[in-house]
A and B are shown apart, each in its own frame.
Chain A
């Protein structure tokens, strides 16, 4: 059962990643006007609603706000590097703040690598990447009980191909929020 939930979360995450790209995904269904007062649960598995369709709904989880930095759930690395790059630090810091304010939320940090290394070396490198993000989240106020770090090494590439365009996408740590 737990496995199923994790798979669904993963699908969500992939959808979110895809929607960061220029190519637009299908627009989310606009909420019907006949239920104006009702605060909706953010529908899982659908594209995030745009800010325009949910005016001033303070109870929307900022995680689900596509304009929030929290919608970014991946940090990327140069080859054989496991330190979070300056450009990505604000992402991790924002998640740290969010986690410190939402003590019940838990996040899985999943380290990944490109294929230039042995599988085992990359498993170690991916773990170091995930652990680096975990440490930064803890420094930013998240508690260790909210965090789990794992590595997939090079075993779960997002992009395939023996070239930098694929490798650069695969060198990353994903922040995967658990339900």
Chain B
């Protein structure tokens, strides 16, 4: 019985601890996809001479997705198609093989030449040269991992995308932008008052957020390139919950200047503010549909917090969630067919999704302190705030609930995460 349990655990539960030198986050992966694709990644020729191993980035990315089984390449190191003996890889059970070389160019840039081969059909699936400055060498690894992911799963990879979150350590708050693996972090804002609700502009160039640095919640829009920012809304009471329209030409925000929390539209420079909800209840957390036509939002107009939907230009508001518990923080999936939200039931927060067409709700996590979910741009992963070992952490779960990962910051609590919407 016990042995069967062990077999069950080792069979179904892949628990990998990826702890990279210099990495800001420690990552734990729990679970595995139903059909893991066996792939062999041969370290690029020249990888061992780089300041940062590209191989390390590629394998960590693929492993984190839970969709791949990494076949050990030990003993074989082909770098060109002519050097590949396909029988070697068929014996090891690999279906695909990644090979290539990397070198420092005369101008100091790093260039990797990479190929992905189909071991069964003995053909090339993709070949590409990827280059970057030495300081952005991890980006090469993410790009290669994206190519492998896309070729083998049919979905676009999200390893090159970025996330934003708030790190809270005592009374110090930092708004952070990082690669999707938590590395390469950049501090956007740091001070001693809370920061909430970062929201990416559709092109990834700006963040909107609410900050308490002047004593109450004020919404700012800040350029990630110039670091310059504008006050989007600073009215009496609370200004918060910014959400960008897909065309980037306006934002939905929540103001209390006319009473309770209501939703308004505003241009990114703070002009042309107009109110679009008139409930007198708490209407908050607006989120645009990918076609820009609808807003999902949280409201307690029915007596408790639930998800509602309305046309952006006003019109009939429709309740979306029913049944036991309360629901918060809705966000559309990138294909617009479903939405993800935080579901509070029996004192626990769960990540849940709901299909627009069927109305079917699916709870994708066991529950705990799981808040603020958002989809990766490919819709295959959901990023959310969670808690483990008494700390606020970032976590992801595959949309089918099968693969989870926990990302621990080196110190403090990670809160308010959001996945960038562009690839």
Contacts and interface: CB of A to CB of B under 8 A. Distances in A.
B380 interface: no
Interface in B287-314: 298, 300, 304-305
Interface in B367-423: 369, 371-372, 415-416
Contact of A152 (B194, B282, B328): B194
Contact of B256 (A80, A117, A124, A155): A124
A87 B329 CA distance: 34
A120 B256 contact: no
A123 interface: yes
24 contacts: A80-B305, A116-B344, A116-B347, A117-B328, A117-B344, A119-B197, A120-B285, A121-B282, A121-B284, A121-B328, A123-B210, A123-B217, A124-B238, A124-B260, A124-B282, A128-B282, A131-B256, A131-B260, A148-B236, A149-B236, A151-B216, A152-B212, A155-B196, A162-B369
B197 A120 contact: yes
A127 interface: yes
A3 B213 CA distance: 9
A29 B383 CA distance: 54
Contacts of A119: 196-197, 371-372, 415-416
Contacts of B285: 118, 120-121
Contacts of B328: 117-118, 120-121
Q: Which of B285, B372, B415 counts the most chain A CB atoms within 10 A?
A: B285
A155 B217 CA distance: 11
A127 B369 contact: no
Interface residues of B, number: 36
A18 interface: no
Contacts of A121: 282, 284-285, 298, 300, 305, 328
B282 A151 contact: no
B354 interface: no
A152 B344 CA distance: 21
Contact of A6 (B215, B326, B415): B215
Nearest to A164: B347
Interface of A: 3, 6, 80, 108, 115-121, 123-128, 131, 148-153, 155-156, 162
Given A124-B238, A124-B256, A118 B194 contact: no
Contact of B284 (A6, A116, A123): A123
B96 interface: no
Interface in B209-239: 210, 212, 215-217, 236-238
Interface in B1-35: none
A121 B282 CA distance: 7
A117 B261 CA distance: 15
A177 to B, nearest CB: 15
Q: Which of A3, A127, A128 counts the most chain B CB atoms within 10 A?
A: A127
Q: Which of A117, A126, A151 counts the most chain B CB atoms within 10 A?
A: A117
Contacts, number: 96
Contacts of B176: none
Contacts of A149: 236-237
Given A119-B416, A121-B282, A121-B285, 7 more contacts: A115-B369, A118-B305, A123-B261, A124-B254, A124-B284, A150-B217, A151-B217
A121 B197 CA distance: 12
A179 B284 CA distance: 34
A38 to B, nearest CB: 36
B342 interface: yes
B215 A150 contact: yes
Contacts of B342: 118
Contacts of A155: 194, 196, 212
Contacts of B237: 127, 131, 149-151
A124 B261 contact: yes
Q: Which of A115, A119, A125, A151 counts the most chain B CB atoms within 10 A?
A: A119
Contact of B282 (A116, A125, A150): A125
A148 B238 CA distance: 11
A123 B240 contact: yes
Contacts of B212: 152, 155
Contacts of A156: 194
Contacts of B260: 124, 127-128, 131
Interface pairs A-B: 4 shortest CB-CB: A124-B261, A118-B328, A155-B194, A124-B282
Q: Which of A6, A108, A155 counts the most chain B CB atoms within 10 A?
A: A155
B241 interface: yes
Nearest to B260: A128
Nearest to A148: B236
A168 to B, nearest CB: 14
A108 B237 CA distance: 11
Nearest to A115: B369
A150 B240 CA distance: 12
Contacts of A116: 344, 347
Nearest to B262: A124
Contacts of B415: 119
Given A3-B215, A123-B261, A124-B256, A117 B284 contact: no
B90 to A, nearest CB: 51
B254 A118 contact: no
Contact of A120 (B194, B284, B344): B284
A20 to B, nearest CB: 23
Contacts of A118: 284-285, 298, 305, 328-329, 342, 371-372
Interface in B93-118: none
Nearest to B305: A121
Q: Which of A117, A120, A156 counts the most chain B CB atoms within 10 A?
A: A120
